[in-house]
Amino acid sequence: MTIFLRLLQIMGSSWRTMAMAGFFGFFTVVSNIGLMAASAYLISGAALHPSITELSVAIVGVRFFGIARAVFRYLERYVSHDATFRLLGTVRVWFYTKLEGLAPARLLEWRSGELFSAIVSDVETLKEFYLRVLAPPFIALLVVIGTCLFLAQFDLIFVYVLVCGAMLLGVFLPLAASIVQKSLAEELVTARMQMKAQLVDSITGIVELAAFGQTHRQAQHIAELDEELTEIQSKVVNQSGIIDALGLFVVNSTVWLVLWFAIPLVHSGQLEGIYLAVVALTVQSSFEAVMPLPLTVHFFAESMAAARRLFAIVDRVPTVLDRFEGILPGADLSITVKNLSFRYHENEAAVLRNISFTVDSGKSVAIVGPSGAGKSTLLYVLLRFWEYEEGHILLGNHELKKYHSQDIRAIFSVVSQQSHMFNASIRDNILLAKPDASEAEFEQVLINAELAEVAKILPQGLDTMVGQNGYALSGGQRQRIAIARALLRNAPILILDEPTVGLDSLTEEAIMETLTKLMAGRTTILITHRLTGLSHVDTIFVLETGKIIEQGTQEELLKKEGLFYQLWNFQRDVV
Ligand SMILES: Nc1ncnc2c1ncn2[C@@H]1O[C@H](COP(=O)(O)OP(=O)(O)OP(=O)(O)O)[C@@H](O)[C@H]1O
């Protein structure tokens, strides 16, 4: 029930447009009943060879209802579809905004394909809720009441027959359908989601699948899922076919019963013969409003299942809840970490253990250490992607938690090894950092990131498309785009997360040179495996299994001959 109410809530002010569509839908059916009744009267009347003037009202009626039906049908379709597609747009934006609050920590719980399926397929399924679930019962009720009032003019027995037929078709058949199809809607939505998730995964990992010779196995898995989906779909179609056939049987039986009662009334003179066809066709055409009800049950179940999945995602509590206390980042952008401990999940071992360090405003630090030491975790906590419970992080003089996470992220520029490249041009990928940047600003950034030369040798210059995940560019070129973004953003605190990983030594050297220029005068945290060339960094912290075990300048650490010294020597020998 709450899901139903929440879906209504999402409608917001669109309910008015949807109500208007329902209103047009009602008049479409009414026009059809009018058309059938007027035509039946006209044909039956014409058989008695009256003067044309006696038939003129019926002729005008046929014309009027014929045109009205077409106009109302058009308006109903136009208004309802327009409103529904706008509404789906609103639902997608709402869902995306909720996802943003959950990223990245909570989103790890779903496969990207599942999220894609939710935002595309489940939202699409909700269309049925707004189009085929909400209005039809009301339209059917109003039409049946109106038709009963009309039939009561002739004989109450027609009213009883119509009500019985309508109850059978509009209430009992849907109830029976809902019992038979109980779990089918849920199964259908789940199978569709699994299919989409699998497809997305396969496309995303197509290179790895091909490299490891697993494409055939993957294709087989997709074929199995497809078979499962087809089986469920054919069950749904079969059942819908049976329900449709039963529905038609009820309609025709009702008309047959009406005639069965009406013919003796005509014989006994209680009903004028000219109205026999009018009564029968009025009853038949009124069922146009009742016929969709058995399927409404199926669409209701399907949209509830889709909505349940959507709400299950958006109702996850974000890992970081803003406890905004009106504090805005000021001029003091020093970062002080005091006794910070962090674990990803309760009952798991701490990944960061009692860490303390300070980065003064405008100074630079490097956090180095072996793989798995917790370097990236520290960064995620600083960027407010994960919540910390033990210890303190101060930005200026205030606890990081007291700032709005949006404000925190606004003062950071991040250059990471995994900076996402959108499948767009180089220019668009850079402008992501500041879409309204002036041409002069943009040109300067290109020069500083040493991209201007790169762009010259590319066939379409800055308009070259970078391809999926930027794979059409070299690693160095991708990193330069990430640096250009950071330059354009021009935020006061710079985070460099393994900015040169995977690059050859020459490119690495060149990129580090560019980054050193970028670091000048900015509070910088550099996370790196690369221990050589850290002489310009003010302080180096050596992290091992979540603990800071050494700190100092490069010179001091080398003199100490501890872990840094060993790793440094090892890397230098390898190079
Ligand atoms: N989302 C997560 N959930 C649970 N544990 C995680 C998560 N992310 C990382 N970890 C664990 O935290 C530990 C530290 O990982 P982290 O990525 O911070 O190390 P790192 O020093 O950055 O390593 P690398 O240099 O290889 O990137 C690892 O044991 C890792 O398995």
* Residue range 491-514: mean pLDDT, rounded: 80
Of the spans 114-128, 434-448, 560-574, which averages the highest pLDDT? Answer: 434-448
The rounded Å distance from CA 344 to ligand 1 centre is 9
Pocket of ligand 1 (CB under 6 A): 108, 344, 351, 369, 371-377
Total of domains in the chain:
2
**Is 574 a residue whose pLDDT tops 70?**
no
Of 108, 346, 377, the residue with max ligand 1 atoms within 8 A of its CB, to mutate for a pocket test, comes to 377
The ipTM is: 0.96
Which helix (DSSP H) or strand (DSSP E) does residue 573 occupy?
helix 563-574
Q: Is the domain of 352 the same as that of 233?
A: no
- For residue 231, being part of any structural domain is answered with yes
pLDDT tens for each residue of 301-321: 889 988 988 898 888 877 777
Q: Which of 375, 378, 501 to mutate to test the pocket of ligand 1 (most atoms within 8 A of CB)?
A: 375
Query: CA–CA separation, 44 vs 271, rounded Å?
Result: 14
According to the model, what pLDDT value does residue 37 have?
95
For 463, the 3-state DSSP assignment is helix
Average pLDDT value for the chain:
88
Query: Please, which residues have CB within 8 angstroms of residue 166's CB and are 6 or more apart in sequence?
Result: 140, 144, 286, 287, 290
One domain, residues 115 and 225 = yes
Protein residue closest via CA to atom 4 of ligand 1 = 344
Decide if 549 is inside a domain: yes
User: pLDDT tens-digit profile of 153-181?
Assistant: 999 999 999 999 999 999 999 998 888 77
Pick from 411, 447, 419: which is nearest to 522 by CA?
Answer: 411
The reply to whether 213 and 244 lie within a common domain is yes
Q: How far is the CA of 154 from the centre of ligand 1 (A)?
A: 81
3-state secondary structure of 29: helix
294 shares a domain with 440: no
Residue 530 lies in a domain: yes
Q: What is the mean pLDDT of residues 370-381?
A: 88
- Verify that 424 and 299 share a domain, yes or no: no
Output the DSSP codes for 242-264. HHHHHHHHHHHHHHHHHHHHHHH
Give the nearest ligand 1 atom to 543 CA.
Answer: 21
352 and 311 belong to one structural domain: no
pLDDT at residue 454 in the model = 81
Task: Give pairs for 63-68: CB < 8 Å, separation 24+.
Answer: 64/34, 65/31, 65/32, 65/34, 65/35, 65/38, 66/35, 68/27, 68/31, 68/34
Report the interhelical angle of 135-151 vs 14-46 (nearest 10°).
30
Q: For ligand 1, what atom is nearest to the CA of residue 108?
A: 1
Give the number of other Cβ atoms within 10 Å of residue 270's Cβ: 11
CA–CA gap between residue 409 and residue 154 (Å, rounded): 75
Contact 205, 175 (CB under 8 A): no
Closest CA to 310 of 88, 133, 86: 88
pTM over 0.95: no
Residues 441 and 558 in one domain: yes
> What is the number of residues in the chain?
575
The H or E element that residue 336 is part of is strand 335-342
Ligand 1 centroid vs 354 CA: distance in angstroms?
17
* Closest ligand 1 atom, residue 378 Cα: 18
Asked if 305 and 4 touch (Cβ cutoff 8 Å), the reply is no
CATH (domain of 349) = 3.40.50.300
- Kindly state whether residue 278 falls inside one of the protein's structural domains: yes
For residue 31, the model assigns a pLDDT of 96
- Asked whether residue 330 is assigned to any structural domain, the reply reads no
Assigned domain for 324 exists = no
CA 366 to CA 458: how far, in whole Å?
Answer: 34
C-alpha 524 to ligand 1 mean position (Å)? 21
- Measured by CA distance, the residue closest to atom 28 of ligand 1 is 372
Q: Are residues 299 and 346 in the same domain?
A: no
Give the CATH number for residue 24.
1.20.1560.10
The alpha carbon of 309 is separated from its chain's Cα centroid by a whole number of angstroms, namely: 11
Retrieve residue 355's tokens. 């860490």
Residue ID of nearest Cα to ligand 1 atom 24: 371
Shared domain for 111 and 26, answered yes or no, is yes
Is residue 322 in a domain? no
Where among 284, 315, 346 does a domain terminate? 315
Q: Cα–Cα distance between 245 and 284 in angstroms, integer?
A: 15
**Pair 382, 254 in one domain:** no
- Looking at the chain, the whole-number percentage of residues with pLDDT higher than 90 is 39
> Are 271 and 386 contained in the same domain?
no
Does 302 share its domain with 419? no
Range of the domain at 289: 3-315
> 64 C-alpha vs ligand 1 centroid, how far in Å?
73
**How far is it, in rounded angstroms, from Cα 409 to Cα 183?**
45
Q: How far is the CA of 287 from the centre of ligand 1 (A)?
A: 63
The answer to whether residue 329 sits within a structural domain is no
Average pLDDT over residues 422-434: 92
Q: Atom 9, ligand 1: which residue's CA is nearest?
A: 377
Beta strands in 49-181 (DSSP E): none
Ligand 1 atom at shortest distance from the alpha carbon of 377: 18
